[in-house]
Structure 1
Amino acid sequence: MNTSSPLWKKRLVLSALAAILPLSAVADGRHSASSLHGRCDGPPPVGNVAMYPHHEMGRPGMHPGMMPHLPFLHRIELSEAQQDKVFDLMTANLPAERAKAKLARKAMDDLRKLGAADAFDPVKARELAAAHSQAMADLLVMRAETEAKVRALLTAEQRSRIDAAERDGGGRCAPSKRS
């Protein structure tokens, strides 16, 4: 093998670049390991990391739909008393939210089975669709109520920082801008 050939050198350089570039993309912070796994790409949490489990969606026991519904909390720093109150508010509704999510999931599964069955019953399909819709509506109302209670705990400055960040659309966790 002729090691002085320019083709051999080009291949060596290209191979080295191919091995190094993915590592540098992860190391520069804009493309963190969490964003490669589909987790929140928002700014890292300040304060108590346990308040922001959506940054750890890959951990055992977390399923789609179980992500905390208050992503704006990672944009501000909470006092310890605020963290405790937010934790209490968010955990108070968890059993009821889980029960509603289970009802919605069961209704959806039953509706899918009904659609795949040999005999389709439109009355039963409407009942299942209504059950699913009601469970989802109840779940959304519970979450909106929790968000309102959490926002009431925040100072005026904290609320204005959240509002400004949501207007600017910072991070993947921000709500989409619709006109």
Structure 2
Amino acid sequence: MKHLHLRALALLLSSSCLGAIAAPGEGHMPPPGPPIGAHGPHQHGPGFAHGVDLSDAQEDKVFAIMHAQEPKRREYTRALQGAHESLRALGGAEQFDDAKAASLAQAAGTALTALTLLEARTDAQLRAVLTPEQRKQSLDNRPRREQRRAGRHAD
């Protein structure tokens, strides 16, 4: 999933509290990206299905799955972003409140965990839509997708 490694890193940093607190512009983790298949460059469907031809019925199922999980994704993303913003503000405050920072870091970690679990469940549901041949084709395309992704993140 997009930015999964960044989200895992953010979880570790958030849970340690100190890593999540930074001056504006320093150590800033980008917020989770748009959901797969929702907006922008991912509007063509789930990443694992690139290069896999889906039937109209499969596309409808993928749409329904993505549409159903979107409210929770937005809720968790907003909670995560809110906790990060509050942590940044607290880090720049004249008086640092360690207990408040720990609470905010815990909230960020909880939201990130929920978001990551939602993505894993959604991935499983989406893969279940594929035929065995399509799953094999998706796995065969994985190295190419990862190579493209690595090239985009190298910039």
- Assess same fold via TM > 0.5: yes
The aligned residue for residue 103 of structure 1 is 79
Check if 1:94 corresponds to 2:70: yes
CA root-mean-square deviation: 2.4
Contiguous gaps of at least 5 residues in structure 2: 1-30, 38-45, 151-155
CA change 1:108–1:136 in 2 (3 A) is same
Deviation of 1:165 after TM superposition, in Å, equals: 1.2
Deviation of 1:75 after TM superposition, in Å, equals: 1.8
Q: Name which of structure 1's ranges 163-172 and 83-92 shifts more when overlaid on structure 2.
A: 163-172
Check if 1:139 corresponds to 2:115: yes
Which of 1 and 2 has greater Rg? 1
Write out aligned runs for 1:138-177 (5 A): 138-169=114-145, 172-173=148-149
Check if 1:68 corresponds to 2:36: yes
Structure 1 runs of 4+ with >6 Å offset: none
Residue in structure 2 matching 1:128, options 84, 97, 104: 104
Q: Tell me, in whole angstroms, the C-alpha distance in 1 between the residues paired with 2:59 and 2:148.
A: 23
Contiguous gaps of at least 5 residues in structure 1: 1-62, 175-179
1:8-65 CA-to-partner distances (Å, cap 9, x unmatched) read xxxxxxxxxxxxxxxxxxxxxxxxxxxxxxxxxxxxxxxxxxxxxxxxxxxxxxx961
The secondary structure found in structure 2 opposite 1:77 is: coil
1:86-130 CA-to-partner distances (Å, cap 9, x unmatched) read 000011010110010000000000000000000001111010011
Sequence identity, in percent?
38
Write out aligned runs for 1:28-39 (5 A): none
Which is bigger in relative contact order (C-alpha 8 A, separation at least 6)?
2
The aligned residue for residue 81 of structure 1 is 57
